Amino acid sequence: MEHRVTPSGVHVDDSGGTGPALVLVHGGFCDATHWRHQVGPLSAGGRRVVTLDLPGHGRSARPDSFAVGAMASAVLDVVHRSGAGGCVLVGHSYGSRIVLDAAVRDPAAVGGVVVVDGSRAGTRSDDGAVLAALRDKGADRFVTDLFEDMFVAESDPHVRSEILGALPESDEQKVAGIMSAIVEWDRDELDGVLARLTAPVLAIQSTSYGPDNRRRSLRSDSDRTPYLDLLEATLPAVSVQVVPGIGHFTMLEAPELVTSALAAFTSGI
């Protein structure tokens, strides 16, 4: 595994290998280690796997902006510097927005997109409520509560304990930057991005939000969410894999299934 750092301070790990690279993009307040169950098996099969810590996450330098477009530009910089054009971009949660945005910004560089447990927030009231809760709770409590809600009763308690125990220290500016970026992009950009997207897409989905605005696990292969409905109604080339009975961290709670889905999708690119 080769490790390098881009001029802007983004830390990258590259397995080498042949065929289209899989570039794995983690979610907000997370880091590249959340893909650890996928990297070994995929690279052992000869696939090239590139992981990175997004700007302001893990080992990477803090950026001026946490906007989705700025993050997408950082990911594309990694793609180009790695010579990984024609790659499959894989994004979880916040990362799902980033890979969709990147695929539209530079379609020639992206052969396919995988979104892992994506969703849509994105109204002005959402943004106001988020920022009010952040002011009320403080950054660390806000992030802890946010992550608590990412797990469901069926979640593996060891995964839950590990994720919650490894949450980084946060500050209000970073938390506000990431949360506002998600709401604003979902509200202002998602529809336009989907309308322009030409790459094939795989959506791996394990949760949705119930009427009480709490996360719930999906219950069967045929279960759908408003986000999946939007993708299927808008995209010309989308396939869906539902992973029932787990929480939001699909790649950690159902690692073999996610690895197999990524391998199968990439083999068709």
Which helix H or strand E contains 131, and what residues bound it? helix 124-137
Percentage above 90 pLDDT, the chain: 86
Note the pLDDT of residue 124: 59
pTM of the model: 0.96
Domain range for residue 178? 2-267
Residue 210: pLDDT above 90?
Answer: no
What is the chain's alpha carbon radius of gyration, rounded to the nearest angstrom? 17
Cα dihedral 77, 81, 87, 90 sign: negative
Rounded CA separation 189/98 (Å):
11
Residue 125: pLDDT above 70?
Answer: no
Residue 135: pLDDT above 80?
Answer: yes
> For 231-245, how does the pLDDT look when each residue is reduced to its tens digit (9 = 90+)?
999 998 899 999 999
What CATH number should be reported for the domain holding residue 126?
A: 3.40.50.1820
> For 77-122, how does the pLDDT look when each residue is reduced to its tens digit (9 = 90+)?
999 999 988 999 999 999 999 999 999 999 999 999 999 999 998 7
- Two tokens at 246? 């787990």
> For 52-70, how does the pLDDT look when each residue is reduced to its tens digit (9 = 90+)?
999 999 999 999 999 999 9
Q: How many domains does the chain have?
A: 1
